[in-house]
Structure 1
Amino acid sequence: MSRKKLEGNGMWESSRMMLPEHKVRLNQLTEDEKKRQRIDLDEQEWVIISQLVEDSLKHRQLIKLQMFHETEELEVSGIVDRVDQLKGRFMVDGEWFAIKDIEGASLED
């Protein structure tokens, strides 16, 4: 092996082979880059969201909630049936969702 192959990135550039571990790691890095980051809402935004959720619950109004999901944009639409503050969750159309995952809300007409 010549000294030139050992300098810089020469070893990898001259190699046509990739170890399975390296391929797995590269795939993981690609998937990690696609993941969304959680939005941090301030206190005022949480007050507004809480009011909209309460309005949906009390007045049976349709609500549209933007929810956090790592790989896709998730939206929940319906009427809030229940809120469980102790467990940090709420129910829309019979399905439970985590309150901490709410990123935005609006009432539908």
Structure 2
Amino acid sequence: MASKLTDNGIIESSRLILPEHRDAYVDHMHEINRKEKPILDEQEWQLIGETLMVSFQERVTVTLTLYDPFDDVVMNGVVDRIDRNRKEIKFVRGEEDYSFIPFKNILGASV
């Protein structure tokens, strides 16, 4: 006969996970999926800059790919302002919807 302390007996089947441990485990599993920001070469920055200028000057809608540690974000809109001192753009997505996007977060731009 199997002992109650081994072979999935009473002690083995009464395992509990504290909420703090579960939260820590979920956070850890989330952090495993974190990705590093890719480094763009000078040619890619030039293409991004040209696309942003076209959108700014001609009011053309562009698609931006932005860095996020867990998933890349894709946004469509028009560049309303380019602020070289603050190193960011004002990106308008609708009538009332806009955001300021730092240059360092832009991974790609296309018309």
Q: Shorter-chain-normalised TM-score: which range?
A: 0.7 to 0.9
What are the residue-to-residue correspondences of 1:30-41 with 2, within 5 Å?
A: 30-41=29-40
Distance (whole Å) between structure 2 residues aligned to residue 30 and residue 82 of structure 1: 39
Tell me the equivalent position of 1:7: none
Is 1:29 the counterpart of 2:28? The answer is: yes
Cα displacement (A) at 1:47: 0.8
Aligned length: 94
Higher helix content, 1 or 2 = 1
2:105 paired residue among 98, 101, 106: 101
Report the TM-score, using the length of structure 1 for normalisation: 0.72
Distance (whole Å) between structure 1 residues aligned to residue 28 and residue 105 of structure 2: 24
Give the SS at the match of 1:51: helix
What are the residue-to-residue correspondences of 1:42-57 with 2, within 5 Å?
A: 42-57=41-56
Give the SS at the match of 2:90: strand
Cα displacement (A) at 1:25: 3.5
Report the TM-score, using the length of structure 2 for normalisation: 0.71
Cα displacement (A) at 1:98: 1.4
Give the SS at the match of 2:54: helix
What are the residue-to-residue correspondences of 1:70-109 with 2, within 5 Å?
A: 70-93=69-92, 94-107=98-111
Question: Which runs of at least 4 in structure 1 moved beyond 3 Å after TM superposition?
Answer: 16-25
Q: 1:12-47: CA deviations, max 9, x gaps?
A: xx8x46566654443222011122321210111001
Q: C-alpha root-mean-square deviation of aligned residues, in Å?
A: 2.0
Amino acid at match of 1:42: D
Q: Percent identity?
A: 27
Unaligned runs of 5+ in 1: 1-13
Deviates more, 1:64-73 or 1:19-28: 19-28
Unaligned runs of 5+ in 2: 1-11, 93-97
